Amino acid sequence: MQQTARKEKLKSILDRLNQGEDIEKVKGEAKDFIAGISAKELSEAEQELVNEGLEESELRHLCTAHIEAMADELDQLKIKLPAGHPLETLIDEHTEILKFLEKLDELNNKFQNKLKEEITAQEIDELKEVAKNLIDTEKHHTREEETLFPLIEEKGITGPTRIMVMEHEDLWPRKEQLNELVDEFENLDFPVFKERLEELANYLVVTLRDHIYKENHILYPTAFEVIAEGKWSNIKKECDEIGYCSFTPNHK
């Protein structure tokens, strides 16, 4: 199929998902077709829908809805990346962040099912550690926003990057609130503490996991495809200047 025809077909699929059609039904019909689509084509088709007037906030749902179809994009990208490539570092950081989220989820469940006096000092320390690590993701997001996103946007793909920035901005205050909440463990009423923890932990776990999935499977593969090979050494330099996270593998 011609590239334009493929993109038109993809746009109609995205449009149907966005109109609320059952994702399983659409996927069933479009399965083979979707399987043959690259992340770049997907990003471009989404961009065209935005240019045609689709709200970016709607695109955000849509992006989540069809994302399963891109499941093997990350593996394919990893194979192509040379060691030390800025995208490899970002992907490795995602792996660490996902571990923090798993820990946060696990700790939240423990806290929800205990009385205050049953909470151990170690559990409080672990929660503090997770909250601190999540705050420490700032440089990861800064590297994305300052070195990667502008070069993707230069290629006319602005929808997906704007959604990622929007999510960074939604996530940031919650990370700070979690950090502040943990310090208030002794002072707050335990039911109030638990309720706030439940709310923040759930938001962070769901939103940040989903965010990472979209970057790993759509945005990074798109970046690798649209950014010229010669530009990556400069991106690496800029990344070095911004700096890394305390948990970045091989950057201690």
Sign, CA dihedral 133-134-136-142, equals positive
Q: Which is nearer to Fe ion, 196 or 209 (CB)?
A: 209
Site for Fe ion in 155-174 (CB under 5 A): 164
Of 44, 46, 73, 215, which lies in the binding site for Fe ion, with binding defined by CB under 5 A? 215
Q: Which is nearer to Fe ion, 30 or 77 (CB)?
A: 77
CA separation for the pair 148, 193 (Å, rounded)? 38
* CA contacts within 13 A on the Cβ side of 161: 23
Range in contact with Fe ion (rule: CB under 5 A) among 19-27, 66-74, 199-207, 209-217: 209-217
Could you give phi then psi for residue 245, rounded to 5 degrees? -95, 160
Range in contact with Fe ion (rule: CB under 5 A) among 38-46, 65-73, 170-178, 211-219: 211-219
CA separation for the pair 234, 62 (Å, rounded)? 33
Range in contact with Fe ion (rule: CB under 5 A) among 48-56, 67-75, 143-151, 176-184: 143-151
Residues 6+ apart with CB under 8 A from 79: none
When asked if residue 136 is in the footprint of Fe ion (CB under 5 A), the reply is no
- Cα-Cα end-to-end distance for the chain: 48
* Binding pattern for the stretch 12-51 against Fe ion, x by CB under 5 A and - elsewhere: ----------------------------------------
**Cβ proximity of 18 and 58 under 8 Å:** yes
CA separation for the pair 194, 116 (Å, rounded)? 10
**Count of residues engaged in binding Fe ion, rule: CB under 5 A:** 3
Q: Which is nearer to Fe ion, 110 or 174 (CB)?
A: 174
CB of 100 to Fe ion, least distance (A): 13
Positions that interact with Fe ion (CB under 5 A): 144, 164, 215
